[in-house]
């Protein structure tokens, strides 16, 4: 990996302690082996994954007015390793935060750095859940969900389902809830312990506290169901039934019924408790 940075061959750390084999990158101290690893072994794909992790996980917690000297880049690199599933060096964390312009303070007797990181970062949370690394799809780092892409599937899925079960089998609450969840099972899931829906952002699942994402998906799905019924010339009774599903209350019922289809537990996800 190329580093477009300013390097100096030696570094005299604070308090007069001289440690050989340390370089500065724009003023931030790096061990020589950290520097060599970044240059010779770190791939661009891995570095991009680390950057995304810092952006989504660390940056929202860089909220202190002063440096939090209780933690350093060395501790953060261990957290990143557990959550990303591959080796992360101390230098990776320091370089990414350097590029983001985060305020830092060098530790007195080693080349670690501390940051204005809130203690909230180290508390257990169920607002964000990670599947174990081995269970994530290969493209999880670059996966992006768009409701537009998902909506393109609705006409074909509805047509196939109608052909399979007929109008009477399609237009009923049970089938519609099942179909809604089946189409969206890769982007929404219900987790039992927090009694909440979660939404897939690719790198992690985030709690959909007010079910905003699920409601939008359900609304788009019901609109497509309405269009499908009209295009196939369904009888008035079916048209009336589908039109009734456009109300927020009825869509909330569909989402509520979908909870029981394939619920997950917190044990299915990566434990978010962070060691100090």
The reply to whether 100 and 139 lie within a common domain is no
Number of domains in the chain: 2
**Of 98, 123, 148, which one is at a domain's C-terminal end?**
123
pLDDT score of 143 = 57
Asked if residue 1 is part of any domain, the answer here is: no
Q: For residue 81, what pLDDT band results from cuts at 50, 70 and 90?
A: confident
The predicted structure's pLDDT at residue 25: 67
DSSP category for residue 55: I
* Burial tier of 118 (Cβ tally within 10 Å: 0-12, 13-18, 19+): middle
Q: Are residues 14 and 133 in the same domain?
A: no
Rounded Cα gap, residues 85 and 89, in angstroms? 13
* 186 in any annotated domain: yes
What 3-state class would DSSP assign to 120?
Answer: helix
Do 114 and 154 lie in a common domain? no
Classify residue 273: in a domain, yes or no: no
In percent, how much of the chain has pLDDT > 70? 78
Q: What is the rounded distance in angstroms from the CA atom of residue 203 to the CA atom of residue 200?
A: 8
Residue 182 falls inside a structural domain: yes
Domain extent at residue 222? 129-268
Residue 276 included in any domain: no
Say yes or no: 75 and 203 in one domain. no
One domain, residues 140 and 179: yes
Quick one: 89 and 14 in the same domain?
yes
**Residue whose C-alpha is closest to residue 83's, from 144, 132, 141, 143:** 132
Q: For residue 274, is it within any domain?
A: no
The pLDDT score that the predictor gives to residue 171 is 95
Q: Can you tell me the mean pLDDT for 25-47?
A: 74
Return the CA Rg of the chain. Answer: 25
What does the pLDDT read at residue 133?
A: 56
Q: Are 134 and 248 members of one domain?
A: yes
Average of per-residue pLDDT across 207-235: 91
Q: Is the pLDDT reported for residue 271 higher than 90? A: no
Closest CA to 105 of 78, 69, 144: 69
Q: Per residue in 199-220, is it b (16+ CB within 10 Å) or e — as a string?
A: bbebbbbebbeebebbbebbee
Q: What is the b/e burial string over 33-46, where b = at least 16 CB atoms within 10 angstroms of the residue's CB?
A: ebbebbeeebeeeb
Residue 27 CA, distance from chain mean position: 32
Residue at a domain's end among 96, 123, 150 = 123
Residues 38 and 61 in one domain: yes
Do 116 and 195 fall within a single domain?
Answer: no
Average pLDDT over all residues of the chain: 80
Identify the CA nearest to 252 among candidates 224, 212, 223, 198.
Answer: 212
Q: Is residue 275 part of a domain?
A: no
Q: What integer is the mean pLDDT of 237-247?
A: 95
- Whether 250 and 143 map to the same domain: the answer is yes
Asked if 83 and 112 sit in the same domain, the reply is yes
Report if pTM > 0.85: no
Rounded to whole angstroms, the Cα distance separating 110 from 28 reads: 11
User: Which one is predicted more confidently, 230 or 16?
Assistant: 230
Task: For residue 147, tell me if it sits in a domain.
Answer: yes
pLDDT at 172: 94
- Asked if residues 101 and 81 have their Cβ atoms less than 8 Å apart, the reply is no
Residue 81 belongs to domain with CATH number? 1.10.10
CA 241 to the chain's CA centroid:
37
Residue that terminates a domain, selected from 123, 140, 171:
123
Q: Are residues 113 and 55 in the same domain?
A: yes
């Amino acid at each position: 990996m190329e580093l477009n940075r300013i390097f100096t061959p030696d570094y005299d750390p604070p308090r007069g302690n001289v440690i050989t084999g340390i370089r500065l990158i724009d003023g931030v101290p790096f061990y020589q082996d950290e520097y060599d690893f970044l240059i010779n072994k770190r791939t661009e794909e891995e570095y991009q994954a680390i950057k995304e992790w810092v952006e989504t996980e660390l940056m929202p917690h860089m909220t202190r007015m002063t440096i939090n000297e209780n933690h350093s880049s060395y501790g953060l690199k261990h957290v990143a390793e557990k959550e990303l599933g591959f080796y992360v060096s101390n230098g990776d964390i320091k370089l990414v935060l350097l590029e983001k312009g985060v305020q830092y303070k060098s530790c007195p007797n080693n080349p670690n750095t501390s940051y204005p990181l809130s203690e909230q970062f180290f508390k257990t949370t169920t607002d964000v859940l990670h599947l174990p690394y081995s269970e994530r799809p290969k493209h999880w780092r670059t996966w992006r969900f768009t409701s537009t892409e998902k909506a393109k599937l609705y006409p074909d899925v509805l047509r196939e389902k109608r052909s399979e079960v007929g109008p009477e089998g399609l237009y009923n609450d049970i089938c519609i809830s099942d179909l809604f969840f089946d189409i969206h099972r890769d982007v929404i899931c219900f987790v039992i312990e927090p009694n909440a829906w979660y939404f897939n952002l690719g790198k992690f699942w985030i709690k959909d506290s007010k079910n905003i994402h699920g409601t939008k998906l359900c609304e788009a799905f019901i609109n497509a169901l309405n269009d499908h019924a009209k295009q196939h010339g369904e009888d008035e009774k079916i048209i009336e039934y589908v039109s009734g599903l456009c109300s927020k209350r009825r869509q909330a019922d569909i989402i509520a019924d979908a909870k029981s289809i394939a619920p997950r537990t917190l044990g299915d996800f990566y434990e978010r408790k962070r060691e100090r």
